[in-house]
Amino acid sequence: AGLNWLQGKKALVTAGGTQEPLDPVRYLGNRSSGRMGYAIAQALQEAGAETILVSAPTDLPTPHGVTKISVQTALEMYDVVLGLFPEIDVVIKAAAVADYRPAVEAEQKIKKTGTSRTLELVPNPDILAELGRMKTSQVLIGFAAETENLMENAQHKMQKKNVNLLVANDVTKPGAGFGCPTNIVSFLFPDGRRIDLPQMSKLEVARHLVREIAKLLGIQTKE
Ligand code: PMT
């Protein structure tokens, strides 16, 4: 059941944590393993969608039948995702995108001086918010990774970024969030509906998400 819900649809998923270079050997990164986004790409592909995975560096194998585009930085992800957006039916932004990048990338390895130093950071564009502004008929799905006031912050992100569904993720709970094979999430909808899922594998979360995506696209999902 559900095998062909997304036949004929084009999906784009982002995954992993962006890396923002400081110099030729160092970067600012985060703890995203890519597992959540890769699981979503697999579930979309299994549901029949033509699936593009825009991935920051990870150790994961590309799911069968999925087209992967590798990026490193938030700016690279921004260019790829915005370029493809007009031809896509559904976008899922599971990547952990750096909000800031170093103001300058040193050409040579930064030398140790023995004194303290200050790093200047400049803001990266918010890819999801930009898609929310550009959106025509697309279904747009965001994530919110929070360490406090989960529902409040997630509600705020949903409105600010103009998404059709927001996946709220308390990343402080054991068995949820960065790195682990399972997750604990809630789906929030602009009409106030909310679905709380218990702890389950990231692939199972992804399959629940695919069902909601099909419904948002107006596809009958009764088995
Ligand atoms: O990769 P795993 O190890 O499996 O971990 C999964 C996960 C914890 C990374 C994933 O479940 C998750 O929560 N992903 C979103 C992480 C994140 O960056 O959340 P955020 O609340 O900072 O961002 C909110 C949304 O805006 C996200 O959809 C993010 O992709 C997007 N964003 C953020 C910043 C930015 N500059 N551009 C963006 O598009």
pLDDT tens, position by position, 102-161: 999 999 999 999 999 999 999 999 999 999 999 999 999 999 999 999 999 999 999 999
Predicted ipTM beyond 0.90: yes
Q: Nearest residue CA, atom 5 of ligand 1?
A: 178
Question: In whole angstroms, what is the distance from residue 63 CA to residue 89 CA?
Answer: 20
pLDDT value of residue 51: 98
Determine the distance separating the centroid of ligand 1 and the alpha carbon of 98, expressed in angstroms: 9
| Closest by CA position to 102, among listed 17, 21, 19 | 21
The CATH-assigned architecture of domain 10-99+121-216 is: 3-Layer(aba) Sandwich (3.40)
pLDDT value of residue 2: 59
Using DSSP, how many helices (H) and how many strands (E) does the chain show?
5, 14
Q: Nearest residue CA, atom 31 of ligand 1?
A: 128
| Residue 132 near residue 140 (C-beta atoms within 8 A) | yes
pLDDT in tens, 169-220: 999 999 999 999 999 999 999 999 999 999 999 999 999 999 999 999 999 8
> Is 30 a catalytic site residue?
yes
pTM: 0.97
DSSP for 108-159 reads SPPPP-SS-----EEEPP-HHHHHHHH-SS-EEEEEEEESSSHHHHHHHHHH
74 lines ligand 1 (CB under 6 A): yes
142 lines ligand 1 (CB under 6 A): yes
| Closest by CA position to 221, among listed 2, 48, 44, 50 | 2
181 lines ligand 1 (CB under 6 A): no
Residue boundaries of the structural domains of the chain: 10-99+121-216
Q: What angle do CA 100, 88, 69 make, to 5 degrees?
A: 55
